[in-house]
A and B are shown apart, each in its own frame.
Chain A
């Protein structure tokens, strides 16, 4: 089995789906001739031609609006937004049109668009190349939200997303685009949306995370001494729909929870996880739920290592929660 990084896995997922289904098209800024700024669409235009892999102007609202129209006519567009920070000009199209079409047409117009976009900090990208906007989309009924952490999941989840009947926001952790390497099966397979994965089994503390933070959490466990508290690390993989049973099942077992996310803390996705547990499993808790998150400031340029959850901060939260 080949050992690939996330970029190669995403590229292969697109290739597999485009070979299988002529309705799948790829579009976005520099995705065609150039193969994408991160090379995720490299070689696709050569194989599938400019009709199915095409460059767009710098106009995110236009890219997503066009994709929505194509989807309404039966295609399965996979637009790329070059950085998640640039998704806001397309926000009205995503929240008001993409998320609502299937519902308000009484199911007549499913809107099968998968928006791929790299997100997150840790690459010295400053304000406009570092944000983690997942909570905005998780808050919007009608959208699914997927964030893989490794190449195997990236390929299997992207294929599943393209085949899904609903619009999917597919956020790719760019900090580990190349650092996360692993075996990836060739050809066709899927990782079903809505299924979390236990990365490390344990009895002591449930640690909930996704995307690039899965790697930071594992560093806290393996290198910062958090293994001592026998954490159970769960990679959510799909934020919407959430694998509620996996989360609550683990919490009922350990009675202790640490939630790790790199987006701003207030009103972030981790607040939703904490609320879910406080509603459904409060009486199983032996300690208050801890959140380790991005600081509540705009994403800083020079201080990004202070802003992002570090292995040390995570290890400290695991220790404090275990000892409570």
Chain B
């Protein structure tokens, strides 16, 4: 199986879908002549031409709105946001139009749009360029929310997202773009709404997604040396959530830690916990733990950023608490 980077896997997914379906097109800031701010759309303008790979003005609200309109009349736009931090300028279009039009029209208008781009903290990008905003979209009925953690998942999920008839928010961790991994060639689809056991284990379930999967796996490796067996579950799609996979795991381990990069309050991790305590009430042997960013805007200073973000030590400590080892 070929090895490639996360960004190449995304590029391959888009190119394959554009070859397959003439209704798919890409637009966004610098996706064409500059080949993408993070080079995800490298070579696509040359391959598909200016009608299908479109550079837009710096106007997220405008081009997301245009994308929704294009989707209403039968096209399948992939809209790249230079970062998801800028989705806030377009969020009225996303929440009030993309998410609602299918239902408002009694199903007459499908909105097969994918809004994708990088999210999360990179390195010292401060309060306005480090945000993990997935919880906003998870609280919005009508949207699907996908956050892959590996190049293979990125390809398989993006292809499914493009073929989906609902609007999909597809958030790529900025720091994962250069991550390498094996990626199946050709027709490789991962259904939306299906999680993945990234590491099987028996003592504690850790739910993590996007680049937090790396922290969870590292914590699992270190604890393995102490004889603690951690199961790492990557939901991959946050909405709709594969909660049965999580429930099955918790029924086996009787313990749960949820790891997310976003701040804790009213977030995706809360939803996971709310569901697990209800479905697995009689299976839990310990209070559920969360590891998240601290509840503050992201600081600029490197040492403070490191203090705010989840790290492996905090994940390990949380797992140990669920085992009453701390």
Contacts and interface: CB of A to CB of B under 8 A. Distances in A.
Interface in A272-295: 272, 274-283, 285, 287-291, 295
Q: Which of A268, A271, A274, A296 has the most CB of B within 10 A?
A: A271
Contacts of B89: 91-92
B277 interface: yes
Interface in B241-293: 241, 262-271, 273-274, 276-279, 281, 284, 286-290
A142 B297 contact: yes
A297 B141 contact: yes
Contacts of B127: 96, 100, 103-104
Nearest to A126: B104
Given A91-B92, A127-B104, A282-B288, A135 B141 contact: no
Contacts of A263: 139
A52 interface: no
B88 to A, nearest CB: 4
Contacts of A280: 287
Interface in A216-275: 240, 263-264, 266-272, 274-275
A285 B277 CA distance: 10
A266 B239 contact: yes
Given A88-B96, A271-B274, A280-B287, A139 B266 contact: yes
A269 B273 CA distance: 13
Contacts of A289: 274, 277-278
A285 B267 contact: no
A263 B266 CA distance: 12
B309 interface: no
A96 B88 CA distance: 8
Interface of B: 61, 85, 88-89, 91-92, 95-96, 99-100, 103-104, 126-128, 135-136, 138-142, 239, 241, 262-271, 273-274, 276-279, 281, 284, 286-290, 295-297, 299-300
Contacts of B126: 104
A92 B88 contact: yes
B265 A272 contact: yes
Given A96-B128, A240-B265, A274-B270, A282 B278 contact: no
Given A271-B266, A274-B270, A274-B274, A128 B128 contact: no
A22 interface: no
Interface of A: 85, 88-89, 91-92, 95-96, 99-100, 103-104, 127-128, 134-136, 138-139, 141-142, 240, 263-264, 266-272, 274-283, 285, 287-291, 295-298, 300
Contacts of A279: 273, 287-290
Q: Which of A139, A272, A297 has the most CB of B within 10 A?
A: A139
A99 B298 CA distance: 11
B287 A99 contact: no
A97 B126 CA distance: 13
Contacts of A278: 273-274, 276-277, 287-288
Given A128-B96, A141-B295, A267-B135, A95 B281 contact: no
Contacts of B273: 271, 274-275, 278-279
- 5 closest A-B pairs by CB: A88-B92, A274-B274, A275-B270, A288-B281, A271-B270
Contacts of A296: 141
B88 A291 contact: no
Nearest to B258: A275
A266 B99 CA distance: 14
